[in-house]
A = this chain, B = another copy of it.
Amino acid sequence: MQPIMTVAEINRFLETDFPQLGGKDGGYLVVDVAPGTAVLRLLAGSQHLRPGGTVSGPTLFALADVAAYVAILAHIGPVALAVTTNLSINFLRKPEPGALFGRARILKLGKRLAVVEVAITPDDEADTVAHAVATYSIPPRPTDATDLPGTLIP
């Protein structure tokens, strides 16, 4: 399973196609892409926090969802837009102020479904703050010349 987009290409795509993330000032930045994985960093601004400075639940959800989406996008390109069908998130530890990283790992990338695991950790790779597993539906694509890897269960 090899990425077919670079970190820069994905960040540009997010800026144009997902303006609701806030672009360059929104806090989200793809920082790494490798075979089967991607890492999305969030520098939380006031819109992401609760009183007291803790990153909010919906923000952690968004970080997991976008990190997983980025991992899929990196490996199949923007021609087929995956849609989240299910996301299950466990909140493990209180997220202290500071950068958070959504570390996504593709568990399966099929023709019709993808399943991605995301660990959300702070800057210094300490204990996981939240852990999610998400499933995406991949719409059928007009030209299906290349086989997706890992298509054992469509």
Contacts and interface: CB of A to CB of B under 8 A. Distances in A.
Nearest to A128: B107
Interface in A109-132: 112-113, 115, 117, 127-128, 131
Interface residues of A, number: 42
Interface of A: 18-20, 49-51, 56-59, 61-62, 65, 83-94, 107-108, 112-113, 115, 117, 127-128, 131, 133, 135, 137, 139, 150, 152-154
20 contacts: A18-B50, A58-B58, A58-B59, A58-B65, A85-B113, A85-B153, A86-B89, A87-B88, A87-B89, A88-B133, A90-B133, A91-B153, A92-B115, A93-B152, A94-B153, A127-B150, A131-B133, A137-B153, A137-B154, A139-B154
